[in-house]
Amino acid sequence: MNDYGPNQTYTQVITSSIPNDRLEVNFLDFSLADGDTLWIYNGDNTNAPLIGI
pLDDT, averaged per 10 consecutive residues of the chain (53 residues), comes to: 76 86 87 86 90 77
Provide the β-strand partners of residue 40.
52
* Calpha distance 39→44 (Å, rounded): 13
Q: Does residue 15 fall inside a structural domain?
A: no
pLDDT for 1? 58
In a domain, 4, yes or no: no
Residue 43 belongs to a domain: yes
Domain contains 11: no
| Domain hosting residue 39, numbered range | 29-53
Residue 43 vs residues 14, 19, 50: alpha-carbon distances, Å:
9, 12, 9
Q: Specify the pLDDT at position 2.
A: 65
- pTM for the whole structure: 0.69
Instruction: Give me the amino acid identity at 39.
Output: W
Tally the domains of the chain: 1
Three-class SS of the chain: CCCCCCCCCCCCCCCCCCCCCCCCCCCCCCCCCCCCCCCEECCCCCCCCEEEC
Residue 10 located in a structural domain = no
Any domain includes 19: no
What pLDDT is recorded for position 24?
87
